[in-house]
Amino acid sequence: MAAAPITRTCSLALALLLALPAAAQQQQVVPEIDLRDYARARAADAAGEPVLAAPGYARALSAVPDDKVLAMRAYRQGLAAGDYALANRAAATLVGAKAAPPDTDILAFAMALHGRDRLGAEKALERMSKAQLDFLVPVLAAWLAIDRGEDPLPLLDTARGNPLAARFTNRHRALLLIATGKPDQGLFALAAARGTEDAPDVRIDAGIALLRTGRKREADRVFGDFAGATQAWRKREAKAGKPDAAFGAAHAFLNLAGDLGGEEMAPLSILLTRAALLLDPQEERARLLLAEALSKSGATDLALQTLAGIRADGPFARGAAAGRISALSRADRLPEALAEAKALAAAGNASAQEVTVYGELLFKAERYGDAAEAFGRALGKSDGDGGWELNYLHGAALDRAGKWDAALPALQRAVQLAPDEPEALTWLGNAQAERGVDLPGAQALLERARRLKPEDPEVIDSLGRAYYADGDLQKALPLLEKAVQLDPGGTRPNEHLGDLYWKIGRRMEARYAWRAAEVAAEAEDAERIKGKLANGLN
């Protein structure tokens, strides 16, 4: 198993070398670069191995220090690998070429603060104030004021009129009050944040700030029953030094990283969490978010290594276990993910979410009966009725497991709880249409789903199929043709359109649609479609 990534890297390196123009290989158009070394770096980059890619990019950048494309690759891979020197050098090249993304100012600010270069930090902050990340400036300026021995609070007022900046200043007001020796006012500001979506993180930040200022009693009150906040973890936090600009900036970057999501934002998340860890190496939430971003960018092994750095005696150990499961699942390492999720879900103190994740992996593995049982357990651990999504997952698993009588009420409950969730509407409407159960009701559900997602081929196909099942072929035809237009290679819409064409006597077009359906069909579907191609509809 350990040799697989190396084999993949070497294969990609060879492919890149073969892809180079012959003249470049023989005459070395860019003689300063070792093409094989650069190709290996590119291959490691493509394979999600930034630790292998970064050194190769570093050597290439030394040979060609003004290449913007190379500098951008070196910048991103340096950050992913935690090579701050390479990332900083590449960022300088990009700045000099006027091709730097705005986030280079965050790296410059963090590097300056880490190196106790106050002037460098202030210059980076000034540049930041003129670009897209200006909403961070009031908070970062306030924390710099702490290091200068000045009152930071007036600087927070500069965020007025900017809702995004105000959100960050509201998060940090309590921390700044605690850091400046006003814990009572800080706790009052903390109470004002209660009930907001930021409240859990603000509470943890405030508790850490109280520990680091020697306010153990107040910290204990803030943490309350915070799971996993052991005495060993609290002692480590208490010894980490008083909250200063590095602490505040690290938590501002962590706050922003926590707001980001999606694979397209992974590079910015990596930068923010790397900057946070540079300034506050003990902040394990940054490791959780860094691992998630690395996983989303394809660097699975580095993500797992990052999670391994989270202490088992702290409050984020279970988050690290969940992060491992997510990274393994995202990398299609399903057996490993299932084994770890099973162990986590089997624990006596397993949460509803941990059991739900196990159920989702069982569903992905097509173990529908086991998935339904897991979702049922999760519902038993949930407050109230478990919410629409868990009822939907439970119903979907029961449906796939062939337990329609049990699935129907679960799916109906999901739709009742969330009447505007197209996923639940589509599943229930489609399931009813396939069974010929309450076809007018199924059509109404699917019409509602279509209004919510008018260009979704799955929704349109299901609606067309519901009208087909009811014998309304005139309504079904344009819907199924539209579904195929939106998803030309889809097995399901092509098969359904073929069925309808056959029904209305367009036999040649029916066979054409079935052949299109057969191309990407899985084994069971392919056999059924072959039967239609041979014999038509029975």
- Provide the pLDDT for residue 32: 54
Q: Per-residue pLDDT tens for 168-177?
A: 898 999 999 9
pLDDT of 488 higher than 60: yes
pLDDT tens for each residue of 215-253: 999 999 999 888 889 999 999 999 999 999 999 999 999
* Averaged pLDDT, 371-390: 93
Residue 162 has pLDDT above 90, yes or no: no
Mean pLDDT lowest among 127-131, 287-291, 302-306, 411-415: 127-131
The span from the CA of 394 to the CA of 382, in Å, is 13
Q: What is the pLDDT of residue 7?
A: 32
Contacts of 46 (CB under 8 A, 6+ apart): 12
What's at 512, amino acid-wise?
Answer: Y
Q: Give the Cα-Cα-Cα angle 163, 167, 170 (nearest 5 degrees).
A: 130
pLDDT at 113 exceeding the cut of 70 = yes
Three-state helix/strand/coil letters over 462-505: HHHHHHHHCCCHHHHHHHHHHHHHHCCCCHHHHHHHHHHHHHCC
Question: What does the pLDDT look like over 326-337, one tens digit per residue?
Answer: 999 999 999 999
Per-residue model confidence as pLDDT tens digits over 21-54:
333 333 333 445 567 778 889 999 999 999 999 9
137-172 CB burial, b ≥16 within 10 A, e <16: bbbbbbbbbbbeeeebbebbeebeeeeebbbbbbbb
- Position 221 scores a pLDDT of 92
- pLDDT tens readout for residues 58-67: 999 998 888 9
pLDDT greater than 50 at residue 400: yes
Task: Please report, for residues 220, 319, 344, the alpha-carbon distance to residue 322 in angstroms, rounded to integers and kept in the order given.
Answer: 26, 5, 8
Q: What is the pLDDT of residue 203?
A: 92
Mean pLDDT over residues 505-512, rounded? Answer: 96
* φ and ψ of 103, to 5 deg: -70, -10
The proportion of the chain whose per-residue pLDDT surpasses 70, expressed as a percent, equals 93
Q: How sure is the predictor about 466, in pLDDT bands with cuts at 50, 70 and 90?
A: very high
Long-range contacts of 425-429 (CB under 8 A, 24+ apart): 425/449, 425/452, 426/458, 426/459, 426/462, 427/392, 427/395, 427/396, 427/399, 428/395, 429/462, 429/463, 429/466
Inform me whether the pLDDT recorded for 18 exceeds 70: no
User: Residue ranges per domain, the chain?
Assistant: 134-298
Q: What is the DSSP string of 207-255?
A: HHHHHHTT-HHHHHHHHTT-TT--HHHHHHHHTS----HHHHHHHHHHH
Average pLDDT of the residues of the chain: 90
Residue 69: its H or E element: helix 68-81
* Contact in structure between 389 and 410 (CB atoms under 8 Å): no
Mean pLDDT of 200-223: 94
- According to the model, what pLDDT value does residue 20 have? 32
Q: What is the pLDDT of residue 262?
A: 65
In angstroms, the CA 326 to CA 320 distance is 10
Distance from C-alpha of 21 to C-alpha of 65, rounded to nearest angstrom: 23
Q: What pTM was computed for the model? A: 0.85
Percent of the chain with pLDDT over 90: 81
- The Cα–Cα gap between 179 and 245 comes to 10
What is the reported pLDDT for 33? Answer: 59
Query: Positive or negative CA dihedral for 496, 500, 503, 509?
Result: negative
Q: What is the mean pLDDT of residues 307-329?
A: 96
Contacts for 379-383 with beta carbons within 8 Å, 24 or more apart? 379/352, 381/350, 381/351, 381/352, 381/355, 382/352
What's residue 199's pLDDT? 81
Which pair of structure tokens corresponds to residue 203?
Answer: 């509470």
